[in-house]
Amino acid sequence: MSGNNVSFSHRKTKRRFNPNLITKKFFIPEENAWISIRLSTSALKTINKIGISAALKRMEKKGSL
């Protein structure tokens, strides 16, 4: 997404709105393995709420994994 930085004098310069991404390691007990995922902080909140196994199943069903 893009937009403008607006100064005090209302001079506009282009800027980008980047997603808030982090790299996080998770342990999957069913596979007894660690995985590293690059995800947004909103996805991290979802994983903390429903668990990593349910989130991976949801991603497989959606087709994004």
Per residue in 41-63, pLDDT tens? 999 999 999 999 999 999 899 98
Q: Who's near 6: CB < 8 A, 6+ residues apart? A: 12
| CATH node for 20-65 | 2.30.170.40
Q: What are the sequence ranges of the domains in the chain?
A: 20-65
Q: Where are the alpha helices (DSSP H) in 1-65?
A: 41-50, 52-62
- Check residue 63 and give its pLDDT: 86
The mean pLDDT of the chain is: 93
